[in-house]
Amino acid sequence: MARKEIKFAGFGGQGIILAGFIVGKAISLHDRKEAVFTQSYGPEARGGACAASLVIDDKQIDYPYPVSPDIMVVMSQEAYHDYVPGLKEGGILIIDEDLVALDDMAKKAGKIYRIPATRFAEELGMKIAANIVMLGFFGSIAKDVVSTESLKKSVLESVPARFREQNAKAFEKGYNYGLEILKGEK
């Protein structure tokens, strides 16, 4: 696998930083690839735009920051406007369809995938797990980047024990939705 750059973006309180951390952990500890994780957020933290970035490679990473993300996962309109201009031409854009409205900036994406992650989390009775629903969806779309087993294992290791069952359901909801979307592409 050549160098891949991924950015998760949304607003503080959505678990964006945790999502990036979970993917980085899955890739580096379980899939045994090189990964560098960085995070950024505004001074307002909760409610302001934030992002988590990953650089992944089979060999040692010489520059730890994404230059032009291959995959961008966006969970808020503000983050869409702040970060999508940096998406690689022909890259993959994944959005929470209830929270992000696309405009001409999305034309640079080669593929766009939509999921109502927050709505699905609410239906499961845990709106706070929208990031985990999104990770399940990401895992189905980005199988060439991270293995499903590693990602799910990393999710379960990264959440408090009392919430593991709920987070496993959230992950499966997003993952299975992604499989259905991919099946429809064939």
pLDDT at 185: 84
Q: Give me the CATH number covering residue 134.
A: 3.40.920.10
User: Which range among 28-42, 87-101, 117-131 shows the weakest confidence by mean pLDDT?
Assistant: 28-42
Q: DSSP secondary structure string, 21-62? A: HHHHHIIIIIS--EEEEEEEE-TT-BTSEEEEEEEEESS--S
Query: Across-strand partners of 12?
Result: 46
Q: How confident is the model at residue 47 (pLDDT cuts 50, 70, 90)?
A: low
* Segment 105-134 mean pLDDT: 96
pLDDT at 153: 97
Please report, to the nearest 10 degrees, the dihedral formed by the alpha carbons of residues 128, 134, 136, 139 taken in order: -150
Task: Compute the Cα dihedral for 116, 117, 120, 126 and give only its sign.
Answer: negative
Q: How many domains does the chain contain in total?
A: 1
Give which of 44, 54, 78, 59 is closest to 6, Cα–Cα. Answer: 54
> Which tokens is 38 given?
């960085």
pLDDT at 139: 97
d(CA 102, CA 158) in angstroms, rounded, equals 32
pTM of the model: 0.94
Indicate if the pLDDT at residue 44 is higher than 60.
no
> Which tokens is 154 given?
């990393």
User: How deeply is 3 buried, as exposed, middle or buried, from its count of CB atoms within 10 A (0-12, 13-18, 19+)?
Assistant: middle
* Domain region containing 46: 4-185
* Segment 127-152 mean pLDDT: 96
